[in-house]
Amino acid sequence: MAFFLLNKNLIQILVLLVTATFSVAARPRILELWVPETDLLTYHNGAVLQGNIPVSILWYGHFTSNQKSIVTDFLLSLTSTTQASTPSVSQWWKTIDQMYLSKVGDNGQPSQVYLGNQVSDESCSIGKYLTMSQISQLAATAGLQQGGITLVLTADDVAVEEFCMNRCGLHASDQSTKSTFIWVGNSATQCPGQCAWPFHQPMYGPQNPPLGAPNGDVGIDGMVINIASLLAGTVTNPFGDGYFQGSKEAPLEAATACQGIYGKGAYAGYPGQLQMDPADGCSYNAYGANSRKYLLPGLFDPSTSTCSTLV
């Protein structure tokens, strides 16, 4: 009987596969039947970052005061005590807390990000070409804190190993100190089509007109998108055993699982329906501190297996 049931199930699978082959356009959801449970973005029983999360910054290379304030205002906006217009950066952060962080343990209190110390290395003390090991060293010199995050931000004239080829940034951890760091580069002069889309035409695919950068700086506004994406990944999967999908070595995480999705109706090459400032034509989906506007990535909702956006 067991053998018969197995073969009967195989026949049903073959019928469904044939049906999917000839009617994908009409019934695309049938393909979802073949997504293995292990390939979904799920919790792997490891640690997440919770509570009060300090974020320190190492500015490597030259950044103007306005460029620095765009980034720091974003970080201050995450758990701002001042009521911002909606949709807001703090709403985006609360979504991470509610969908991911609050599900782990019995902390009971909302998690908050606060801005820690900032260090500038404008002279590029170890050169203008950095390896990944040197990024890790820079994070350590900035002062890694247990349960905290160090941002290593490299200027537009600093080349980093595999930057623009395979990545726009990364997050990693130091197991000895139980601390984490994020590196993001300014792609303005190196690969804005890859790391600052949709504020620059993409390197490949449909060449639609770029959107206006909400703070008037394509490179820095692009950095904020990447910082936000990696921040979401860092707090939900800091040590590689938290929330992720796929391979532990190359995981999809809370925001990277929704790459390129910023508003409703998004698809490849189209970021979705966004808000536009009639005064300067810039596009955004979140209000921040000090009258800032930002474009933030969609977040994967594990309960619905869909991407959640602010607009």
Report whether pLDDT(24) > 70: no
For residues 211 and 283, the answer to whether their CB atoms sit within 8 Å is: yes
CB-side exposure of 227: number of CA atoms within 13 Å? 28
Helix, strand, coil percent content, the chain, rounded in steps of 5: 30, 25, 45
Rounded distance between C-alpha atoms, residue 240 and residue 200, angstroms: 32
Span 150-174, average pLDDT: 96
Kindly state the DSSP code that residue 52 receives in the 8-state scheme. Answer: E
Q: Which two tokens stand for residue 222?
A: 């692009």
Which pLDDT score is estimated for 161? 96
From the list 251, 53, 64, the residue with the least C-alpha distance to 148 is 53
> Rounded to two decimals, what is the model's pTM?
0.87
Rounded distance between C-alpha atoms, residue 233 and residue 246, angstroms: 14
Q: Extract the runs of DSSP E, i.e. beta strands, from 122-191.
A: 129-130, 149-154, 159-160, 169-174, 179-185
Report whether pLDDT(4) > 70: no
% pLDDT > 90, the chain: 77
